[in-house]
């Protein structure tokens, strides 16, 4: 359950060792009750669209009316 839907956080901000850190960071944000994750664009990491697809099962799909745990954005 999202306790703070108005709050979000950037994932893979700073010096992430691996793109795999994204899943752990998103789980942590969900545990805190945050409503949105923004995936940071990184020149030395996988393309941001590919990372977004990794999170697709966890993210709200507004087009289909799905209700997963967290909103996802890129930027």
Domain ranges of the chain: 4-74
For the chain, the average pLDDT equals: 75
Helix then strand then coil, % of the chain, to nearest 5: 30, 25, 45
> pTM to 2 decimals?
0.68
Tokens at residue 45, please? 């990491």
pLDDT at 66 over 50: no
pLDDT at 26 over 50: yes
């Amino acid at each position: 359950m999202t306790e703070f839907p108005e709050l979000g956080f950037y994932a893979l901000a700073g010096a992430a060792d691996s793109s795999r850190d994204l899943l752990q960071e998103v789980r942590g944000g969900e545990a805190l009750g945050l409503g949105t994750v923004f995936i940071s664009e990184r020149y030395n990491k996988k393309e941001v669209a590919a990372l977004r697809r990794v999170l697709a099962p966890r993210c709200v799909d507004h087009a289909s009316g799905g209700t997963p745990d967290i909103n996802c954005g890129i930027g």
